[in-house]
Amino acid sequence: MSDKIQFFALLFLAEVSGLTAVVLIGLFGGQFNREPGYRWDGSLNTFNYHPLLMIVGFIFLQGNGENIPFGAITYRVMVATGIQLPRPVVKLIHGGIQAFAFMLATVALVATFKYHKTQGWADMYHPHSWVGITAFSLYGLQLIIGFTFLLFPKFGSDALRSRVALIHVSSGRFMFIMLVATALMGMSEASIYDVVHSEQLPPAIIVSNTFCLCLLLFAATIVTILWNPNYGTKNQTEDCIELMESSHPLNA
């Protein structure tokens, strides 16, 4: 089987599992927890926006748009299909996806605080909250640094920006794994507190556990594609290479 066929097979598996996870988390909040539905009234219906928007933004969009110029899923699809776009356009697509994901996550975070305030509960109580707010903060920092150093106005020397670019790539992949772990922790918490155990194995638990398995499958396929050098081209690291070569002492 050729690398191209393997790539598209993994991509198909990633998209199916990722979209299934999105649908399942939407169903969990919309039909299967103890207060199903979506309303902005401070009840559990408000909190239901939190997992849905976090999964759409920080997992599905992040997984598909992570580090586009340097070997991410969207970029590799363009390479595999022969689509040619100028690198500034690719960077804008990447930045736009990441910014939209951050906006969704911000609304999701506000929904949580609104729910806790209405219920009179303390914030930042569970490990999920601590890890989640850390991931949210790092994501925002990654977005700001990536924009100002690599897109506009491109602060710093070539040598500095080459180092920033390499850190941007590795930290983006780490944050994807961190966000998946945070989502699994949150789903475990929701299964304990937001489900009424009226039967031995209620449908809500089946939905939540299946969601976790789909999320793991999505993460596994995304990581496999990102870490396999056969599913891309040398142009994926073009920005980093150009910056490093231009700042190398032998080229001075």
Q: Find the mean pLDDT for residues 49-77.
A: 77
Find the helix or strand (DSSP H, E) in which 207 lies: helix 203-227
More confidently predicted of 77 and 133: 133
pLDDT at 249: 40
pLDDT at 30: 96
Q: Supply angle C-alpha 86, 88, 92, rounded to 5.
A: 120
pLDDT at 122: 93
pLDDT at 165: 87
pLDDT at 75: 66
CATH number of the domain enclosing 119:
1.20.120.1770
Phi, psi for residue 86 in degrees, rounded to 5: -60, 145
Please give the model's pTM, rounded to 2 decimal places.
0.88
d(CA 248, CA 220): 36
Q: Which domain covers residue 36, as residue numbers?
A: 3-251
Phi, psi for residue 37 in degrees, rounded to 5: 120, 170
Q: What is the pLDDT of residues 105-161, one digit of tens each?
A: 999 999 999 999 999 999 998 999 999 999 999 999 999 999 999 888 999 888 898
What's the DSSP call for residue 68?
G
Number of structural domains (the chain) is 1
Residues 42/113, Cβ–Cβ less than 8 Å: no
